[in-house]
Amino acid sequence: MQRTTQGHSPIFIALLSAVLLLLTSVEVTAKEQTVVRFCTPNADVYPFFIFTDQGEVTGINPQILSQVFGHGQLENVAIQYIMRPWKRCDVELRAGTVDMIIGSYNEQRDQFGLYPKEIDPALENSYFSNVEICLTTLNRPNYIAKAQAGLRGETKLTVGVEAGFSQSHGESMVIDWLVIYNYLEKFTLLERGRVDAISEVCSIDQTQIKTKADYAGMQDISTIYEPYVANQAYVVFSEAFATQHADIAKTILTQLDNFDKQSIYQFYQQGKNRAD
């Protein structure tokens, strides 16, 4: 007996096609990945960015970001490091050729970059880290005594500071800044007595860390762990990225707020430069 066949109705075929199209669309969407172009300095800025001999970037900031991007709600969000001279990062953030930086607040940057409170008013108090700055001087009684007197505002200090480093300080302090473009030079100037002290990151979020001088193995130095100023660092987005990916920008900020950064800081207390 010959078996007869009957073709499927046009309605059935149309429905089947729609379902297959929907499933394909969902599969493609699940695999799509948003890439956040993160601008970083192209040279060491200890402890935030440290370049290995192989040219890889590590340091506190990349280590924190690597624990947040590609995980949880950011599973399909990857980070791409764009290395530039630091001043160039602001230029590219304004142009929208990079999506994100981590930097302090200043009025000029606020004209084109979006800080957390502009992403969501509820994130007004969100910041990436609170960075405390100390004075490092020679480990000699007269140098230490003068630095301590300078912190109290009792004498003027000449302080070596790297270009781009904050020159903020307490109102009572009187400082002549000597701007240096090679970080090794400021140690040399200190050793030769050309400056009374140098400025160093000594604590983050009230967690004391080794200074760059300690990390570099400098001898005969002493850091006065009494921060004379603290600066907050923020995640700042380009207007283009925040407009196109508002939900992702908000999720990045929320995930960073919830991440236990102390798990990274502890390795810098021990003088290590990698968490692994």
Task: Give the confidence band of 43 by pLDDT, cuts at 50, 70, 90.
Answer: confident
Residue 275 identity: A
Q: What was the pLDDT predicted at 8?
A: 55
Is 192 part of any domain? yes
The per-residue pLDDT for range 118-154, each reduced to its tens digit, is: 999 999 999 999 999 999 999 999 999 999 999 999 9
Residues 175-193, mean pLDDT to the nearest whole number: 87
Quote the CA–CA distance of 83 and 93 in Å, as a whole number.
13
Of all residues in the chain, what percent are helix, strand and coil, respectively (each to 5)?
40, 30, 30
Coil, strand or helix at 117: helix
User: 122 and 244 in one domain?
Assistant: yes
More confident residue, 187 or 109: 109
User: 207 and 253 in one domain?
Assistant: no
pLDDT reading at 235 higher than 80: yes
> Is 0.75 topped by the overall pTM?
yes
Is 118 part of any domain? yes
Is 5 part of any domain? no
Q: What was the pLDDT predicted at 19?
A: 53
Q: What was the pLDDT predicted at 20?
A: 54
Query: Running DSSP on this structure, what letter comes out for residue 82?
Result: E
pLDDT reading at 100 higher than 90: yes
C-alpha of 219 from chain center: 29
User: 208 and 184 in one domain?
Assistant: yes
Task: Give the confidence band of 269 by pLDDT, cuts at 50, 70, 90.
Answer: confident
Coil, strand or helix at 101: strand
- Total structural domains within the chain: 2
Q: What was the pLDDT predicted at 276?
A: 36
User: 121 and 158 in one domain?
Assistant: no
Q: What was the pLDDT predicted at 14?
A: 54
pLDDT reading at 108 higher than 50: yes
- The enclosing H or E element of 57 equals strand 57-58
Is 4 part of any domain? no
Range of the domain at 244: 32-129+233-269
- Please report, rounded to a whole number, the percentage of residues in the chain having pLDDT higher than 70: 86
Is 14 part of any domain? no
User: 95 and 182 in one domain?
Assistant: no
- The CATH code of the domain that includes 137 is 3.40.190.10
Lowest mean pLDDT among 9-18, 31-40, 111-120, 218-227: 9-18
Contacts with 204 (C-beta within 8 Å, 6 or more apart), sequence order: 47, 60, 129, 130, 131, 132, 261, 265, 268
Q: What is the mean pLDDT of the chain?
A: 87
Partners of 42 in beta bridges:
none
User: 174 and 154 in one domain?
Assistant: yes
User: 214 and 191 in one domain?
Assistant: yes
User: 186 and 171 in one domain?
Assistant: yes
Is 142 part of any domain? yes
User: 261 and 206 in one domain?
Assistant: no
Q: What was the pLDDT predicted at 231?
A: 92
User: 103 and 70 in one domain?
Assistant: yes
More confident residue, 165 or 29: 165
Task: Give the confidence band of 236 by pLDDT, cuts at 50, 70, 90.
Answer: very high
